[in-house]
Amino acid sequence: MTKPKRYDRIAFVASAGAEAQAAFTQLTGLYGNCNPDEADVIVALGGDGLMLQTLHQHMRAGKPMYGMHRGTVGFLMNEFSTHDLRARLEAAHESVIHPLLMRATDVHGGAHVHRAINEVYLFRQTHQAARLKILIDERERMAELIADGVLVATPAGSTAYNLSAQGPILPINAALLALTPISAFRPRRWRGALLPNTAYVVIEVLEGEKRPVAAVADHDEVRDVRRVEVLSDKTISMRMLFDPGHSLEERILREQFGGY
């Protein structure tokens, strides 16, 4: 039988909100506060925005991360409680996620590399719809998509912007990515595609001078792009902890039946 991992050294991070700051004061008073570089686990207090920020900041640390909901949206968070935190951490279930790597080339030929935990999306910068060409594994799959934009989502991000754009919800352990159009005009009935998570996705911007397009990896934006490459970065594994019965896999499954 595997011995439960001990979480003696906890690093707390909190959003700027009053609830999160009050929770930070309570929890650090009870459990202390370790430097994240030396901690066994990082506990984030806030909403999903803070959790994404924390995951980005410590993406390569290999440390488990556990969120408690003290913000506005908490799909990635556990319920808040100050009681017996170390026991909760030891009983938590772990989900491993991989980010997307985005390489965007702008109008001047400059390359911009960013990573995304939820999604990479392209979106029109003006009133005119974007014209995009889509290639998968260096094979042209769509010669022209006219739309507000298009996105590539991970399973972890499939319940975020992707779901709002009518994209599919993916089980957290599915070896898939969702390719979803944003307000497609032509082909009007195209609803997107499911791709293996080994896919190399290239999106080329057509008529970029007339119809400028921006690319966004979570919160990192590049303006006036001409070409965007997207692939799953298997060199980075992020460990998220969830209370029993409230794992990310369970939440994604519940979302498909009307809520979480």
3-state SS, residue 34: coil
Tell me the pTM. Answer: 0.84
Model confidence band, residue 159 (pLDDT cutoffs 50, 70, 90): confident
Residue numbers belonging to the annotated binding site = 48-49, 118-119, 148, 156, 159-164
Q: Is 40 in the active site? A: no
Catalytic residue among 8, 40, 48, 224: 48
Q: Please check whether the two domains, 10-98+236-255 and 101-232, share a CATH topology.
A: no
What pLDDT digit, counting tens, does each position of 70-122 carry? 977 677 889 999 999 999 999 999 989 999 999 999 999 999 999 999 999 99
CA–CA separation, 164 and 168 (whole Å): 10
The angle subtended at Cα 66 by Cα 64 and Cα 69, nearest 5°, is 165
CA–CA separation, 132 and 122 (whole Å): 9
- Mean residue pLDDT of the chain comes to 92
Query: CA gyration radius for the chain?
Result: 20
DSSP code of 46?
Answer: E
Model confidence band, residue 1 (pLDDT cutoffs 50, 70, 90): very low
Residue numbers belonging to the annotated binding site for NAD(+) = 48-49, 118-119, 148, 156, 159-164
3-state SS, residue 36: helix
Helices (H), the chain: 18-31, 48-57, 85-91, 161-164, 248-255
Using an 8 Å Cβ cutoff, are 153 and 133 in contact? no
What pLDDT digit, counting tens, does each position of 231-257 carry? 999 999 999 999 987 666 676 667 666
Beta-carbon count within 10 A of 171 CB = 14
Domain spans of the chain, in order of start: 10-98+236-255, 101-232
Domain at 10-98+236-255, CATH from 3.40.462.10, 3.50.50.60, 3.40.50.10330, 3.30.43.10: 3.40.50.10330
The third-level CATH classification (topology) of the domain covering 101-232 is Tumour Suppressor Smad4 (2.60.200)
What pLDDT digit, counting tens, does each position of 185-231 carry? 999 889 999 999 999 999 999 999 999 999 999 999 999 999 999 99
